[in-house]
Amino acid sequence: MKVKVAILGCSGRMGRNLIQAAIEHKSVELVGGSVRAGSSFENFDLGEIAGIGAIGQKTTTDYKALLAADVLIDFTSIDATLEHLDWCQQHNKALVIGTTGFSEQQVATIKAAGNNIPVILAPNTSVGVNLLFKLLEVTAKAIGEHTDIEIFEAHHRFKKDAPSGTAVKMGQVIADTLGRDLNKVAVYGREGITAERSRETIGFATVRAGDIVGEHTAYFADIGERIELTHKASSRMTFALGAMRAAFWLSEAHAGFYDMQDVLGFKDN
Ligand SMILES: NC(=O)c1ccc[n+]([C@@H]2O[C@H](COP(=O)([O-])OP(=O)(O)OC[C@H]3O[C@@H](n4cnc5c(N)ncnc54)[C@H](OP(=O)(O)O)[C@@H]3O)[C@@H](O)[C@H]2O)c1
């Protein structure tokens, strides 16, 4: 059976890819899509927004038009997502959140919503990136204590938050594996006379340029050798298709707070 999904924020870079992915995905049926109130894309054909030709379904600013959906998919902005989270709780709808940049307090709000509805918070919905998280855990366990760990990320010029949610999650996975508190060991950028690097720190470096879709590398560097684990996304469709997989998985889940590791079954072993 197909899961009925609606896309929130259809006119965005991810919104357009999500529409296309929902139309292409064999286990998903697209039943609606919203745009921001006052958007010039109100009442536009969803297929035309995605650049794949008219499909006879229009964007809306009225959430009531999305009630047919079992799962809503949200890659918008922090404020919009928190508003959508409230609506989903009021109407008992499952929600896949791809938006990034939430504060710890906002993440706590999203977690609490898991008491009422099924909700996934996924700062990166790519299957490859989530496999990378698993590889980071294995690598940190094997060599993390005696290597210098640094995380590099690069994204397009339009990205609003830094470091990326994925880079932060990579740091979190490594810190958790090594029993370190990321708030204490993270170093966000360096300048001037910084003194020697202390072993337990986890460094972050950010590039914002052009149309880079998303690149992440974790370095585990020793004297004489280093391991670099890299993921490069070349199309936003990878995130959009991962979000469809998440929506399908969430449609069968009980109320709770989940992530992509749950969706991909990486927590089972
Ligand atoms: N999880 C992942 O794998 C992943 C991958 C890529 C990006 N992201 C994240 O996804 C988010 C969106 O990224 P993007 O590159 O698509 O940004 P974007 O192009 O700026 O798109 C955001 C869209 O959200 C819309 N929006 C804002 N408030 C809204 C509301 N109340 N109702 C409906 N739509 C609303 C905006 O509409 P207006 O233009 O009219 O304001 C815009 O079209 C960011 O947080 C980004 O970091 C996550």
Give tens-digit pLDDT for 90-119: 999 999 999 999 999 999 999 999 999 999
C-alpha 155 – ligand 1 centre gap (Å): 15
- 243: closest CA among 55, 85, 99, 48? 99
Confidence tier at 221 by pLDDT (50, 70, 90): very high
State yes or no: pLDDT of 67 exceeds 90.
yes
Count CA within 13 A, CB hemisphere, residue 112. 8
Distance CA 116, CA 159 (A): 31
Per-residue pLDDT at 158:
96
Distance CA 227, CA 218 (A): 8
Confidence tier at 194 by pLDDT (50, 70, 90): very high
Element (H, E) at 31: strand 28-34
Mean of pLDDT over the chain: 96
Note if 159 is an active site residue: yes
Task: Find out whether the peptide bond into 118 is cis, omega within 30 degrees of 0.
Answer: no
Per-residue pLDDT at 185:
98
Shared-domain flag, residues 14 and 117 = yes
Paired with 257 in beta bridges are: 119
Shared-domain flag, residues 240 and 121 = yes
With a 6 Å cutoff on the Cβ, whether 102 touches ligand 1 is no
- 92: closest CA among 242, 249, 246, 251? 251
With a 6 Å cutoff on the Cβ, whether 84 touches ligand 1 is no
| Residue at 269 is within a domain | no
Shared-domain flag, residues 64 and 178 = no
Percent of the chain with pLDDT over 90: 96
State yes or no: pLDDT of 196 exceeds 60.
yes
Residue 187 DSSP SS3: strand
Range of the domain at 119: 3-125+236-263
Shared-domain flag, residues 16 and 84 = yes
* 152 within 8 A of 220, measured Cβ to Cβ: no
C-alpha 10 – ligand 1 centre gap (Å): 8
State yes or no: pLDDT of 269 exceeds 60.
no
Shared-domain flag, residues 118 and 250 = yes
Per-residue pLDDT at 78:
97
Shared-domain flag, residues 152 and 165 = yes
With a 6 Å cutoff on the Cβ, whether 81 touches ligand 1 is no
Report the CATH number at residue 133. 3.30.360.10
Count of domains observed in the chain? 2
State yes or no: pLDDT of 225 exceeds 90.
yes
- 18: closest CA among 245, 234, 212? 245
Distance CA 232, CA 132 (A): 11
Shared-domain flag, residues 8 and 121 = yes
C-alpha 169 – ligand 1 centre gap (Å): 19
Shared-domain flag, residues 111 and 64 = yes
Note if 231 is an active site residue: no
| Residue at 268 is within a domain | no
Shared-domain flag, residues 15 and 120 = yes
User: Which residues are within 8 A (CB) of 96 and not within 5 positions of it... i.e. 6 or more apart?
Assistant: 71, 72, 73, 74, 119, 120, 122, 125, 243, 246, 247, 250
State yes or no: pLDDT of 165 exceeds 60.
yes
Paired with 94 in beta bridges are: 71
Report the CATH number at residue 244. 3.40.50.720
Per-residue pLDDT at 266:
85
Q: Spot the catalytic one: 4, 25, 93, 155.
A: 155
